[in-house]
């Protein structure tokens, strides 16, 4: 009885395991951001009227969208999505004033996979100088591909944000050593000074 029960449970879990391997969709088809114009992190000269174009890797399903928001979080303009061209295009109705902007996009692939990272950020430079600087001009050059965020899988992708100092300083190493020494020293002292319990095993 027991053996039969155990066997049944093993068989059940084995069958379930086999069934899971047959489940479709283990590999998701994300519609990833392939490139953007302007590129994320770029500075463009004022006045800037776009168009801002995001290009994706897969067909864009219904619900895909992109909004241009300013530094206050207000939506300035929304994108026109061309599902077959795999693009989202934002054309501001008026030239963008100087400031920081973000394009918050959502791509939905045909199988329902939703992506919304990385956010594309760019800056419209103030038109302080009557003649555009070489730097600003250069930054408006045809955009290369977007940031290297198109990981081939669903694994979270490191974004190229400034890295904090997680490598730690000397103090980071010394602190745990001191803590360990204090804790272990206290524990060892307690055990060494404590009286032995009488044992009946000898």
Partner 1 sequence: MGRFAARVGSTLGLVIGIALVLPAAVAAHTLNPTYESRLPLAVYLVGAAVTVALSFAFVIVRDVRATPPVLDQVGTLPPAWLRYLLRTIGLVGWLWIIAQGIAGGSSDADVSSLFLWVYGWVGLAIVCAIVGPAWHFIDPFSTLHDLAAAGLRAARVQGWAIADYPERLGRWPATIGFAFFVWLELVVMGGPSTLFIVVVGYTVFTLAMMAQFGRDEWRSHGETFTVWFRLLGRLAYFRLVDEDGRVHSRTFGSGLLEPGWTAADVTLAAFGVSSIIFDGLSQTEVFFDLFGAPGVAIRTLLLAAWLGIVVGLAFAVARTVGLGAIGAGLIPIALGYLVAHYMTYLLIDGQRIIIAISDPFQKGWDIFGTAFFSPTGAWLPAGLVWTIQLAAVVGGHMLGAWGGHVVAAADAPRGISAHDLRFRQLPLAVVMVSLTTLTLWSLGQAIVVAPTSGSTDASPVAATVAVPAAPGD
x/- contact string, 124-143, with partner 1 (CB under 8 A)? --------------------
In the list 72, 94, 192, 195, the residue contacting partner 1 (rule: CB under 8 A) is 192
Is 144 a residue that touches partner 1 (CB under 8 A)?
no
112's CB contacts (< 8 A; 6+ apart) are 61
The interface with partner 1 within residues 10-39 (CB under 8 A) comprises 10, 12-13, 16-17, 19-21, 23-28
Nearer to partner 1, 24 or 130 (CB): 24
Closest CB to partner 1 among 126 and 158? 158
Output the smallest distance, CB 108 to partner 1, in A: 5
Considering only residues 55 to 74 of the shown chain, the ones binding partner 1 according to CB under 8 A are: 63-65, 73
Minimal distance, residue 57 CB to partner 1, in Å: 16
Q: Which of 115, 109, 113, 114 is nearest to 61 (CA)?
A: 109
Q: Does 106 bind partner 1 (CB under 8 A)?
A: yes
Residue 71 carries which DSSP code? T
DSSP-derived 3-state class of residue 31: coil
In this complex, which beta carbon is closest to partner 1, that of residue 95 or of residue 187?
Answer: 187
> Containing H/E element for 4?
helix 2-21
Quote the least distance from Cβ 117 to partner 1, whole Å: 6
Rule CB under 8 A: choose which of 72, 93, 94, 166 binds partner 1: 166
H or E segment and range at residue 101: strand 99-108
State how beta strands 75-78 and 65-70 pair.
antiparallel
Among 54, 58, 82, which Cα is nearest to 68's? 54
The neighbouring-strand residues paired with 90 are 52
User: Which residues sit opposite 35 in a β-bridge?
Assistant: 55, 145
Is 57 within 8 Å of 87 (Cβ atoms)?
no
> CB 7 → partner 1: shortest distance, Å?
11
């Amino acid at each position: 009885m027991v053996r039969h029960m155990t066997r049944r449970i093993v068989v059940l879990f084995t069958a379930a395991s086999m069934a899971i391997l047959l489940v479709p969709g283990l590999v998701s088809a994300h519609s990833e951001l392939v490139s953007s114009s302007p590129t994320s992190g770029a500075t463009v000269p004022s006045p800037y009227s776009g168009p801002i174009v995001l290009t994706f890797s897969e067909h864009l399903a219904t619900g895909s969208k992109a909004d241009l928001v300013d530094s206050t979080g207000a939506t300035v303009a929304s994108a026109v999505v061309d599902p077959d061209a795999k693009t989202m295009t934002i054309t501001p109705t008026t030239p963008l004033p100087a400031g920081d902007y973000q394009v918050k996009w959502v791509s939905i692939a045909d199988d329902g996979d939703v992506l919304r990272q990385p956010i594309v950020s760019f800056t419209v430079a103030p038109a302080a100088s009557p003649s555009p600087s070489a730097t600003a001009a250069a930054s408006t050059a045809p955009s290369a591909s977007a940031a290297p965020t198109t990981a081939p899988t669903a694994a979270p992708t490191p974004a190229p944000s400034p890295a904090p100092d997680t490598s730690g300083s000397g103090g980071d190493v010394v602190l745990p050593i001191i803590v360990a020494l204090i804790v272990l020293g206290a524990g060892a002292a307690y055990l060494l000074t404590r009286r032995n319990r009488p044992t009946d095993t000898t």
